[in-house]
A and B are shown apart, each in its own frame.
Chain A
């Protein structure tokens, strides 16, 4: 009996000392890393000589941050570990709640998107609304559409595609070249761009049919680079780095958005403002994105969509049931690519100018991150992720008040990728299968139940 209290206190003390030790370790690591990076800075003095300027306070801050951060995390982890069973019960009960929540979000989200330009106008006025509709509204909608398009390939069919931007580029360049060479209007270029991108999707699909997982990812990555390098180097056609400018803007059933007498504003007796065009573009991309969403939701309930999901679950079982996996994969590539092409065509018409620089690998990575973050196969999750990621980066540009804290040289947009990465890591710890981590069945007999993410496979190529 006499031993018991001592034992108790030692077991209580042990986690604390262990935590302190780990925190000390983290601090040492931070010290080791920050000395070469932060401690010394080279600067030129008046006679143009390089002098070393010590910045030991920076090192101290990094070490302290690491120490206390680690300590806090460990104590928090210990506290949650004790409560683990309760947390799990809560997670199970929220499953049914989140189903209604997703429905609510989709209805409210759609309404908000429909009213968005008018809300922006009424809050920030005409001058401010241009930025909010163009940089936020249209930009985010393009990425929502790209995310929904890629979701068919990655989320439903389970084929990891790292070169999706290639189809975006094909769509944009198709529009630009068709408009320039044949003088076609945007409304004719748009479907043609989608068809051409789908065609390139099939072309990519053929060689990668037999590849799985990592190998598939590498080849699609290479495909994206091939398209970009061709755009750069095939100067007679694509004009190389200089890009193509003067792409015709979309018209409102033949009425251009300009100040002329035949323009949209004059026709409806309105005062000319560039806002008209932006609002029109916003609704155009909204319609295109909603079309993508509608088609995807429809396809999920058709045999081809179920075959995609079955393919993601088990390819061998698919073949044993008579499903032609070749055609199934190709349709996924083609339809996903087609929507990428539509988005690309819209992008070209909105910018009026395109160059290969808009179609770098980072774009593929961002779209893929949106799909993964949203929850594979979930339409509403992809939309939320696109708003968070693209809207988030745009918001960074707005944070001028940070300059008051960190000095006038501080530019928050430079930390974009850092914050991106951090947010990604956090979300993956908190929700490893994405924001919406359940699968909604395509058909049900009595009751639509959600399928838990741990049962759904990610696909293996």
Chain B
């Protein structure tokens, strides 16, 4: 339990409105560095919307999302950064990124937040290896001298590409797909596609990995392998994980910190044991106790 460590991601007053619909309503939470933070909630609670805001696919209506690399900046520095209108500030000790101001690809490239998708988004017509190489686009682009150097076959690019292949191979070994490296990604079975999508996100060398329902559609054995895999990612690479998941066995077993949403609001926040016993969470998931039904009906009537 390391909830006291400096927060990696600090979300404050995040609100997202789609016309008249409030998908996220004044949500604040922190994800600590090195933690596995789970966001749970009933269907339609706004979990994926939170993800889309953090990764820049949606521009939030209001709120601040601060991501820190290295040592956290002083509060005064952060307030100054917020007031300045700049996207990020880099100091020798660490840097701060205001995610709500950055476009999606910059969040991935500079703030180093990687993500997977609820419905798998692999490059189906490219091979498994190519998927992992595309994930290392930005460092390779620099090594190829923005294409010019690579076009003339500079040594530097060839070395960088060999390194990228090594890195891909490392991840292929971890997800057990080395044998299928030259097969098209679209040909893989479902569970392997899920693993590949996580490996692809990890190949982009993130500080925070956002997983949108990684255990969806997996059988019990695959889902227990996934738990192992996620733990090893955190242990070996120090990558913090933000997780949306419906499979409670996964959530309760591996997460350090759980945030519960209902109708876009946070109803509970804390370690798994705390959340499990929180009456509000139980009510949200299972409905209310028998004796409270009348009270609730009266509330609805008004």
Contact = CB atoms under 8 A, between A and B. Distances in A.
The reply to whether chain A is a binding partner of chain B is yes
Interface stretch (A88-96, A183-191, A397-405, A439-447): A439-447
B123 interface: yes
Contacts of A456: 124-125
Given A321-B200, A322-B109, A443-B130, A313 B114 contact: no
14 contacts: A295-B151, A303-B144, A306-B137, A309-B130, A310-B123, A314-B123, A317-B123, A319-B104, A319-B105, A320-B201, A322-B110, A323-B138, A443-B127, A451-B184
Interface string A209-246: 00000000000000000000000000000000000000
Contacts of B244: none
A316 interface: yes
Interface string B122-146: 1111110110011101101100100
Contacts of A320: 55, 57, 104, 108, 114-115, 117, 121, 201
A302 interface: yes
A457 interface: yes
B95 interface: no
B204 interface: yes
Contact of A322 (B108, B123, B157, B178): B108
B15 to A, nearest CB: 23
B182 interface: yes
A14 interface: no
A304 B129 contact: no
Interface in B24-72: 55, 57
Interface string A418-459: 000000000000000000000101111111110110011100
A299 interface: yes
Interface string B197-224: 0001100100000000000000000000
B125 A439 contact: yes
A455 B151 CA distance: 28
Contacts of A304: 141, 144, 147
Interface string A307-337: 1011011101111111111000001000000
A309 B108 contact: no
Given A299-B147, A314-B123, A444 B137 contact: no
Interface string B171-185: 000000010011110
B137 A441 contact: no
**Which of A318, A321, A322, A449 is packed against the most chain B CB atoms within 10 Å?**
A322
Contacts of A317: 117, 121-123
**Nearest 8 A/B pairs, CB to CB:** A456-B125, A322-B109, A322-B108, A313-B123, A455-B186, A317-B121, A303-B140, A445-B181
Nearest to B186: A455
Interface in B147-195: 147, 150-151, 153, 157, 161, 165, 169, 178, 181-184, 186-187
Nearest to A446: B182
A306 B133 contact: yes
A399 B147 CA distance: 48
Nearest to A453: B125
A298 interface: yes
Contacts of A455: 124-125, 184, 186-187
Contacts of B123: 309-310, 313-314, 317
Given A309-B130, A455-B186, 17 more contacts: A299-B151, A302-B157, A303-B141, A304-B144, A310-B126, A317-B117, A318-B105, A319-B108, A320-B114, A320-B115, A321-B137, A321-B204, A441-B129, A444-B127, A455-B124, A455-B184, A456-B125
Interface string B257-292: 000000000000000000000000000000000000
Contacts of A331: 147
A339 B266 CA distance: 56
Interface of B: 55, 57, 104-106, 108-110, 114-115, 117, 121-127, 129-130, 133-135, 137-138, 140-141, 144, 147, 150-151, 153, 157, 161, 165, 169, 178, 181-184, 186-187, 200-201, 204
A441 to B, nearest CB: 5
Contact of A313 (B124, B135, B151, B187): B124
Contacts of B140: 303
Contact of A303 (B115, B124, B137, B187): B137
B134 A307 contact: yes
Interface residues on A, range: 35 or more
Contacts of B147: 299, 302-304, 331
Contacts of A445: 129, 165, 169, 178, 181-182
B169 to A, nearest CB: 7
Nearest to B160: A303
Contacts of B122: 314, 317
Nearest to B172: A445
A296 B169 CA distance: 27
B137 A449 contact: no
Contacts of A449: 127, 182-184
A325 B157 CA distance: 22
Contacts of A324: 105, 109
A325 B138 CA distance: 12
A313 B126 contact: yes
A313 B121 CA distance: 9
Contacts of B141: 303-304
B57 A316 contact: yes
A325 B187 CA distance: 26
A457 B204 CA distance: 23
Contacts of B201: 320-321
Contact of B134 (A321, A447, A452, A457): A321
A444 B186 CA distance: 16
Nearest to B141: A303
B98 to A, nearest CB: 17
Contacts of A452: 184
B232 to A, nearest CB: 22
B184 A321 contact: no
A374 B109 CA distance: 36
Contacts of B108: 319-322
Nearest to B56: A319
B210 to A, nearest CB: 9
A303 B184 CA distance: 18
